Structure 1
Amino acid sequence: MKKFTYAAVSPPRHGTRAMAFGKHVIRMMADNTGGSLGMYEAYLQAGEGSPLHIHEREDEFFRVLSGRFGFWCGGDYIELAEGGCIALPRGVPHRFRNVGKTEGRLMGVVTPGGFESFFPIVELCKPETPEQIASVARDFGLAFPPEDDREVA
């Protein structure tokens, strides 16, 4: 991996598409930033989102590019519309969901980078069972704790 001493650029309409857990476009790979960060865009239909999960290795930052999203982090719930931002710490269970009525789009940044490769790997491996998905996730330091009984928006 090259040292991060140059500009990493993702021009408009560029990126690596990955159809895994919705549509994702990987905009910057860790390899392009000396491992400092990775960036992707997620396109989610109304009602879609991530399950409860924990990252062991990286913090996450999201910016809502379009739509309205609910974010659960630890015991907190926050709703954000277009332009809203949230940072989620590693080691804390969290999830998000498009709580709007139309397709929404998020920009996600992970630091350090590496997790952005999860989506292309899932698309390539095509895990079908929860056990297979958990196996791929473990390689990325990702775990899925059991959901609690809270009502989801």
Structure 2
Amino acid sequence: MPVIKANTLPTGNLKGADHGATISLILDHSEPGQGPRLHRHPYDETWVVIEGNLTFQLGDEHLEVNTGDIVIAPSGVPHKFTNRGPARSHMVCIHASPTMITEWLE
């Protein structure tokens, strides 16, 4: 596997298929109050919270997560998150797929 420098990913997205990898990932940095709309994927998605305080919605469940926590959304489960603040959050979002496939629900 090659080494991929973070500064070569201007959007923070890495499509695994472009690098011969079986996963894709997003280096997410969200400001307080920000996060993606409700969506789902046909594969698991896992987040490693490097820094931050966030609220995740997984299906009907709402979870408060903090620095060091790991969140897993199973395949097909609608999900989204919002940074609760007070500072910018930093997460690594791992898509269990060499390409990102997203169905936006809102």
TM over 0.5: yes
Task: Please name the residue that 2:13 is paired with.
Answer: 26
Q: Which amino acid counterpart does residue 95 of structure 2 have in structure 1? A: V
1:59 positional shift: 1.3
1:102 positional shift: 1.0
State the identity as a percent. 23
1:108 positional shift: 0.6
Q: Which amino acid counterpart does residue 50 of structure 1 have in structure 2? A: P
1:62-84 deviations in whole A, cap 9, x for unaligned?
A: 01111111111012111111111
**1:38 is the counterpart of 2:32:** no
In structure 2, stretches of 5+ residues that fail to align are none
Please identify which structure carries the higher strand content.
2
1:52 to 38, 44, 50: 38
Task: Please name the residue that 1:144 is paired with.
Answer: 104
Q: Is the 8 A contact 2:53 2:66 kept in 1?
A: yes
1:9 to 3, 19, 42: 3
Task: Please name the residue that 1:94 is paired with.
Answer: 79
Two-structure CA RMSD over aligned residues (Å): 1.9
1:13-55 deviations in whole A, cap 9, x for unaligned?
A: 444112xxxxxx1356333244x10122111000000111121
4+ long deviations beyond 6 Å: none
| Distance across 2 between alignment mates of 1:102 and 1:40 | 19
Task: Please name the residue that 2:59 is paired with.
Answer: 74
Query: In the superposition, relative to structure 1, how do residues 37 and 100 fare at CA in structure 2: closer, same or farther (>3 Å)?
Result: same
Q: Which amino acid counterpart does residue 32 of structure 1 have in structure 2? A: H
TM-score (normalised: structure 2): 0.85
The answer to which structure, 1 or 2, has the higher relative contact order (CA under 8 A, 6+ apart) is 2
Q: Which amino acid counterpart does residue 105 of structure 2 have in structure 1? A: P
In structure 1, stretches of 5+ residues that fail to align are 1-6, 19-24, 116-139, 147-153
| Distance across 2 between alignment mates of 1:98 and 1:85 | 15
Max Rg structure: 1
Q: Is the 8 A contact 1:43 1:104 kept in 2?
A: yes
| Distance across 2 between alignment mates of 1:28 and 1:15 | 13
